[in-house]
């Protein structure tokens, strides 16, 4: 990465409250004046969660959205929904979500990521956000949809990064920062006209999305057909909330775990089905033991480094995403060569609700990366890594993680000693490749669909950019 050079007066550096040596962001001169975004908000607040975090017994009650549920395309991801009790939702005095609200991540690697709320996609109207999210609700002086597009624009996002990254620790956007962010003063009538121009494009995007098939559905369908996964019965068993167990059942758990989740009928069903399919375990195909990654401190980051630090946040979308990944110093990477990745490695997030169990396949032989301490690396031999990756993404495998993870609330973990004992499907490499080819072909079709959607979204961004400038 080449070193960027610029010239700046010491006086200008002194005007930065963080005394950072990096080039500060300055709002460009536009045909419109600026005003603070908070002057156009009727509501801006963060949410909260119960003490102890998310509880399994609250599943199916009120939805609690966090950063993991905010997609990079500005939509809400409900593939894995965190819940809180109706009682907690009713008593909460902040963070409740209404239709057309804007949600923005306020801390961590996801800082600044925004989405627009469409209530039609939610299974319930009792929706709130946790403490890592702001709810933004415009007043009568601004078009809410236009406000959302302003939050995705470079003008807004550059200010977020400038404010949120002023400390060397974890980035964060506090209320004082939010009150400093400015947006261009575009007349309300003009806003309405711009939104009207965008609506036909959004309609086309919606039509394309209705044709889109999620990767999870494609993978599950193929594995269900090939290995007789009874997904329908599995889903029915997951709905069972009450259990009656003999004391002897607790003794059957190697950790003598008494929590209900370790004895769910759905979990027993998945384990029994996989035992019929295979007697092999992951440990039978390991090229080397599964290992945890390496921790990092703020001083280890270096924008001129040549190794990425691969955190849980960088694999939460089932692949390594370098856009938000930080680089580390040469000194740090030299010391941690045993924690690097190579092609065909599989990384699994081992902690954190919403992320635990997510997997990523390293398919770039030139990638230089060190994986984080909250991830683990799996290196296989005599096994198709892409087949393993798809298997790890099935609902069956993910549920094994769900019933074996340990801890409370958001602080749950799963460990290599557990993962290595999970069942591993035992079929020939030829048959593995056949299944891989089928799944990949279908996923490639969906990727083409996604690219069409991205073209439409780029058109929307272009309209907003022209309107602002």
Torsion of CA 311, 314, 317, 322, to 10 degrees: -150
Helix (H) or strand (E) holding 299: none
In this structure, the strands spanning 127-129 and 62-65 are parallel
* Contacting residues for 144 by C-beta, under 8 A, at least 6 apart: 100, 102, 137, 138
Burial 10-35 (b: 16+ CB within 10 A, else e): eeeeeeeeeeeeeeeeeeeeeeeeee
Q: What share of the chain is helix, strand, coil (3-state, %, to 5)?
A: 45, 15, 40
Contact 282, 420 (CB under 8 A): yes
Say yes or no to pLDDT of 338 above 90. Answer: yes
> pLDDT, tens digit, for every residue of 142-183?
999 999 999 999 899 999 999 988 765 678 899 999 999 999
Residue 468: pLDDT band (50, 70, 90) is confident
Question: How far is the CA of 115 from the CAs of 167, 312, 353, 354, in angstroms?
Answer: 25, 21, 20, 17
Which pLDDT score is estimated for 275? 94
CATH class (in words) of the domain with range 27-186:
alpha beta
Helix (H, G, I), strand (E, B) or coil at 304: coil
What would the mean pLDDT of 421-432 be, rounded to a whole number?
97
> For residues 101 and 153, what is the distance between their CA atoms, to the nearest angstrom?
17
229-433 CATH pick, 1.10.4160.10, 3.90.220.20, 3.40.50.720, 3.90.850.10 = 3.90.220.20
Token pair for 444:
């490639």
Residue 208's φ and ψ, nearest 5 degrees, are -65, -40
Count CB-CB contacts under 10 A for residue 231.
Answer: 14
Among the residue ranges 26-35, 127-136, 430-439, the one predicted with the least confidence is 26-35
Q: pTM, whole model, 2 decimals?
A: 0.78
What integer pLDDT is reported at residue 49 of this predicted model? 87
| Domain 229-433 in the same topology as domain 27-186 | yes
Query: What's the mean pLDDT in 4-23?
Result: 49
pLDDT for the residue numbered 319: 93
Per-residue exposure over 243-268, b if at least 16 CB sit within 10 Å of its own CB, e if not:
eeeeeeeeeeeeeeeeeeebbbebbe
pLDDT digits (tens, 9 = 90+) for 61-100: 999 999 888 887 888 888 778 889 999 999 999 999 999 9
83 strand-pairing partners: 63
Place of tokens 């990638």: 367
Domain spans of the chain?
27-186, 229-433
With tokens 């200010």, the residue in question is: 159
Sign of CA dihedral 298, 300, 306, 311: negative
- 197-243 per-position pLDDT tens digit: 999 999 999 899 888 899 999 999 999 999 999 999 999 988 776 65
Dihedral angle computed from the Cα positions of residues 115, 117, 122 and 124, in that order, rounded to the nearest 10 degrees: 130
CB 414 within 8 A of CB 400: no
Q: Among residues 236, 108, 230, which one has the least CA distance to residue 160?
A: 108
């Amino acid at each position: 990465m080449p070193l960027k050079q610029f010239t700046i007066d010491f006086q200008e550096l002194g005007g930065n409250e963080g005394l950072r040596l990096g080039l500060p962001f300055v709002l460009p001169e536009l045909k419109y004046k600026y005003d603070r975004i908070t002057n156009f908000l009727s509501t801006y607040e963060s949410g909260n969660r119960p003490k102890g975090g998310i509880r399994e017994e609250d599943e199916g009650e009120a939805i609690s959205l966090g950063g993991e549920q905010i997609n990079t395309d500005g939509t809400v991801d409900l593939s894995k929904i965190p819940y809180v009790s109706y009682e907690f939702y009713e008593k909460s005095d902040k963070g409740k979500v209404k239709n057309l609200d804007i949600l923005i991540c306020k801390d961590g690697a996801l800082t600044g990521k925004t989405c627009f709320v469409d209530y039609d996609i939610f299974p319930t109207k009792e929706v709130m956000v946790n403490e890592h999210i702001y709810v933004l609700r415009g007043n009568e002086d601004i078009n809410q949809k236009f406000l959302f597009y302003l939050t995705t624009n470079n003008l807004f996002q550059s200010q977020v990064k400038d404010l949120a990254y002023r400390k060397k620790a974890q980035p964060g956007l506090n209320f004082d920062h939010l009150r400093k962010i400015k947006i261009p003063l575009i007349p309300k009538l003009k806003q309405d006209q711009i939104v009207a121009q965008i609506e036909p494009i959004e309609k086309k995007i919606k039509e394309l999305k209705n044709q889109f098939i999620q990767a999870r559905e494609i993978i599950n369908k193929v594995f269900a057909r090939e290995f007789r996964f009874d997904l329908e019965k599995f889903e029915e068993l997951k709905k069972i909330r009450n259990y009656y167990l003999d004391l002897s059942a607790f003794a059957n758990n190697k950790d003598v775990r008494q929590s209900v989740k370790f004895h769910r009928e759905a979990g027993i069903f998945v384990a029994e089905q996989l035992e019929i399919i295979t007697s092999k375990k992951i440990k039978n195909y390991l090229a080397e033991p599964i290992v945890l990654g390496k921790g990092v401190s703020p001083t280890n980051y270096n924008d001129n480094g040549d190794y990425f630090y691969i955190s849980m946040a960088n694999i939460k979308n089932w692949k390594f995403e370098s856009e938000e990944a930080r680089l580390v110093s040469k000194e740090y990477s030299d010391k941690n060569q045993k924690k690097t990745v190579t092609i065909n490695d599989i990384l699994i997030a081992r902690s954190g609700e919403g992320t635990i169990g997510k997997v990523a396949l390293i398919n770039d032989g030139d990638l230089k990366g060190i994986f984080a301490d909250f991830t683990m690396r799996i290196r296989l031999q005599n096994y198709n890594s892409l087949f393993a990756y798809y298997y790890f993404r099935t609902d069956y495998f993910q549920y094994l993680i769900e019933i074996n993870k340990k801890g409370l609330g958001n602080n749950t973990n799963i460990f290599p000693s557990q993962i290595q004992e999970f069942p591993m499907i035992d079929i020939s490499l030829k048959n593995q490749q056949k299944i891989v080819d089928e799944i990949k072909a279908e996923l490639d079709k969906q990727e083409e669909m996604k690219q069409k959607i991205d073209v439409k979204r780029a058109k929307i961004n272009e309209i907003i950019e022209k309107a602002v400038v």
